[in-house]
Structure 1
Amino acid sequence: MKFPSIFRVAHPQRFEIKPRYYDPVKEEIEQRTSRIKKELQAEGKIPLDGDDLDSDFYSSSIRGAFASGSQIRGRSTSPFNSAGLMRLVIFVLLIVAVFGYIYLGPEALYTMAYLIGGLALLVVFFRIKGKSGK
């Protein structure tokens, strides 16, 4: 009998291999078909396809997306919503709290707590005001 637990017990992972089937005849037919199609397109006997996903013409849409640093289309980001800025603000507040406690004592922590609470209330107030004004 198994006792109920709130913790997950690790189970050994099973090895599953999914075989890939290789058909040399089918691959040769596809290569010949694509080569003949390219030759006919080069001669102008058949029109060029814009959505041809052949390996020579295919280019990934993700190439350079990470290096360019551009946003994903349709997603609007604000510097105030980014996780990096939030981490920076928390880190700075912790550093200020530690040095304030060392130099000024517990009064610095209470003062900083009141200031942060007041700023949080102002942010909530303006967000509620902004939503009701729309």
Structure 2
Amino acid sequence: SRVGSVSLKLDQKALEHMHRHKTGALIEAAVQLGALASGRAGAEQLAALQTYSRAIGLAFQVQDDILDVESDTATLGKRQGADIARDKPTYPAVLGLQAAKAYAVELRDQALDALRPFDAAAEPLRDLARYIVERRH
């Protein structure tokens, strides 16, 4: 973000805080509301789903930042490098591209691990976690 003409540089912790309260909060709310609406989720399941949704929320943003660097404009649906051009803080800028990719995979694995207590009925959630990190647009 900018204050006047001075760019504010964020570290990883600050970047995560920003995204947990932005995109991540929407994803977390969707997962939690779905679980609550089922009428079958207890406290342990809700906690596991919160861990899952927080991980995929961050993974989504990390992958989005990676795609801004790697994807072409036609595939991405916005101008490639638009985030960088706007001096928007991104995970590749903070961590480096390869470390950002590794972090996205780590977050996916955290999400999948959080779903261990669930049976095959949670497979769509597992598929979503995989898709978020594998997507190309």
Q: Which TM-score band (shorter chain)?
A: under 0.3
Please tell me whether Structure 1 or Structure 2 has the larger radius of gyration of its CA atoms.
1
More helix as a share of residues = 2
What's the TM-score, normalizing by structure 1?
Answer: 0.26
TM-score by length of 2: 0.26
Whose RCO is larger (CA < 8 A, sep 6+)?
2
